[in-house]
Amino acid sequence: MLKLDCKFNILQKIRCIKAQFTATGKSYPPHVPATSPIIEYLTFTLSHRIIYLIVRQFQSHGIRGIYQGLFSTIIFRTAFFVWWSTYELYTRLFKRHTRLSDASINFWAGGLSAQTFWLAAFPFDVVKQRVMTDALDVEKRRYRGWWEAWVGVWKKEGLRGYYRGFVPCVLRAFPANAAALFMFEQTMRAMEH
C-alpha cells in the first residue's frame, strides 16, 4: 500500500492527500481518520475552503502566513509587460511584413509572445514557487526572502536551476496562449460590429 509522508503545511497536506486518492483509488487514505481536518476540508464548498484555509493559516502563522510569497508573486507578475509588449510588437511586424489575415496574425503573435514571456519570466516563477512552498515556520525555512531564494538557486543549480521544468511549460504556452489571444481579438472584433 502506498503511504506518502504528509508532514507539511495545510496546502501541502491537501496536495499529498489528493495524490494518495489518485494513487490508491480510495475515497480517503486509510491512515487519515475520517474526522481529520483534511477530510473535513474536502467536504467544504469552494468558498468555505478558502475561508477555512485563511483562518488556519492565520491561526498558525499570523498575517505573514497568509501573505507568504506575495513579494515573489509581484516580481513575477511584473514580467507580464514582456508578454503584452511583445504581442504588440509581433502583431505590428506581421502586419508590416506578411500577408497573413488578422486572425492568423493574432494567433501567431499570441503564441510567440507567450514563448517570449516565459523565456524572460520563468526564472522569477521558479523562485516564486520556492518561496511560496517554503516552510511557514521561520526556524524551518530554507530562505528568508526572495533574494536569498534567487541566490540559493544560482549557487546550488546555476542557470539550469532557473529553467527547471521549462520545456513542458513552453510546449503548453504556445497553443494555449495563441488560441486565447486569437479568441480575445475575434471577440473584440465581433463586439465592434
Structural domain of residue 153, as residue ranges? Answer: 70-183
Same domain assignment for residues 38 and 117: no
108-136 tens-digit pLDDT:
999 999 999 999 999 999 999 998 888 87
64 vs 2, higher pLDDT: 64
Same domain assignment for residues 59 and 128: no
Same domain assignment for residues 15 and 79: no
- Residue 25 in this model has a pLDDT that exceeds 50: no
Count up the domains in the chain and report the number. 2
129-168 tens-digit pLDDT:
998 888 877 788 898 889 999 999 999 999 999 999 999 9
- Residue 106 in this model has a pLDDT that exceeds 80: yes
**Is 102 domain-assigned?**
yes
- Residue 21 in this model has a pLDDT that exceeds 90: no
Provide CB contacts within 8 A for 153, sequence distance 6+. 123, 126, 127, 130, 161, 162
Same domain assignment for residues 85 and 47: no
45-98 tens-digit pLDDT:
777 777 877 787 788 778 877 788 889 999 999 999 999 999 999 999 999 999
28-50 tens-digit pLDDT:
444 545 555 665 656 667 777 77
Record the cell numbers describing residue 143, joined without a space: 530562505
- Give the span between the Cα atoms of 193 and 190, in whole angstroms: 6
**Is 191 domain-assigned?**
no
pLDDT for 29 equals: 47
Average per-residue pLDDT for the chain = 82
Same domain assignment for residues 58 and 78: no
- Name the nearest CA neighbour of 14 among 30, 35, 32: 32
Same domain assignment for residues 28 and 52: yes
The rounded percent of the chain whose pLDDT value lies above 70 is: 77
C-alpha to C-alpha distances, 146 to 69, 124, 130, 143, 167, nearest whole angstrom:
8, 10, 9, 7, 24
pLDDT for 97 equals: 97
Same domain assignment for residues 14 and 96: no
Give the residue from 43, 66, 89 where a domain finishes: 66
Residue 87 contacts residue 109 (beta carbons within 8 Å): yes
**Is 190 domain-assigned?**
no
In this structure, what CATH number is given to the domain that contains residue 170? Answer: 1.50.40.10
Average pLDDT over residues 15-37: 50
SS (H, E, C) 88-115: HHHHHHHHHHCCCCHHHHHHHHHHHHHH
> Per-residue confidence at 9, pLDDT binned at 50, 70, 90?
low
**Residue 185's CB: how many other CB atoms inside 10 A?**
19
- pTM score, whole prediction: 0.69
